[in-house]
Structure 1
Amino acid sequence: MPTNNIAFTAPVNPPGTGLRLHSDQIWTGLRLKIRSAETFVPNAISSTTVISESIDPTTGNEVTVREVVFVESERKAQETVTAFAPSRVVYKQQDGSTISNVISEDMHGELYVTYTFEWRHPDVTDEELPALLNKEKKMSRMAVDGTIAVLRRLVDTGKI
C-alpha cells in the first residue's frame, strides 16, 4: 500500500522563548489534544468527538476512541488513541495510518517534541505519492510548531 513516512522534531524551549515549559505541562497538553485536536491543529482538524475512554487492563494505558473531521476534505476518521504516560501518544486510524506524538529530551535535559506520521494511501498510485509527501511534510511541521505554540499559550494563560 502506498505510504508516506514522515517525522519532524522541534525544541520546546529554544533560546529567547522566555517561558520554559516542563515535561509534565507538555504531557498534560498532549492528553488534552486527544480530546480536542482542533485546539492544537485548527488548520488540519475541525472537530473531535470522543466515542469512548477506557484503561487497557494489561498495560494501564489510557485508550480513547475518537472521531476527527479534517478541515480540507471534511473527511471523518475514527482513531484509537493510546497514551503511554508520560512521553508518547499513538493515534491509529482504521486504514492503518499511525501518528505518534513523543516528548523527549537530549543529553542536556532540553525538551523536544517529535511527531511521526505513517500516512497510508490505499487509493493513490505510487506516481501520485510524491505530491502528497510534500503536502504532508508541510503539515507535519505545522502540527509540531503549532502544538508547541498552543501549549505555550495554555501554560501562559494558566489553563495548563
Structure 2
Amino acid sequence: MTLLHEFRKFVARGNVLDLAVGVIIGAAFGTITKSLTDDMIMPVIGWLFGGFDFSSYFLRLGPIPATYTGSPDNYAALKAAGVPLFGYGQFVSVVINFLILAFIVFLLVKFVNRAIAVVHEEQKAGTAAPAADPPEVALLREIRDELRARKDDAGSSPTSSS
C-alpha cells in the first residue's frame, strides 16, 4: 500500500473531516470572541473604570531605537519597532477572551450533554417491553406450536411412511 493511498484513506475517514470542520468553525468562532472582547466588553470595562484600556498598559524592557518617530505610549507601534515590552494589559485582554470562550464552550457542551440525555431517555422509553398478547393470541400460538411439534414427531417416527 503506497503512502499516498494510506493518506487518502486517512483523510476520507469521517472523523478527520469532522475535525477539519471543527477547527475551521473554531477559528471563526475565535475571531468572533476576540471581537466581542476587544470591541464590546473591554470598552465597557474601560468606561466603568474611568477610561481604563487594558491593551495600552505595558512596561518597556529596553530602549526605544533612535530611528523611532512614533509615540512612546503606543504599544503596537513600539512592538512593531522591535522594542522589548512586557504587555500585561494585552495579556489581561487575552485572558478575558479565553474565559469568555471557555464559558461559551462549557455552555455548549452542557447543552449537548443534556440533549444526548434526552435522546437516550426517549430511546429507553421507546424500547420498553411490548404489551402482553391477548389470551386468544397466546392460545393460538400454543396450538400452532403443538401442531408443529406433532408434525415433527410424526415425520421423524420410524413407523411413518414417507
Higher strand proportion (structure 1 or 2): 1
Higher radius of gyration, 1 or 2 = 2
Structure of higher RCO (CA pairs closer than 8 Å, 6+ residues apart): 1
* TM-score, normalised relative to structure 2: 0.26
* TM-score, normalised relative to structure 1: 0.26
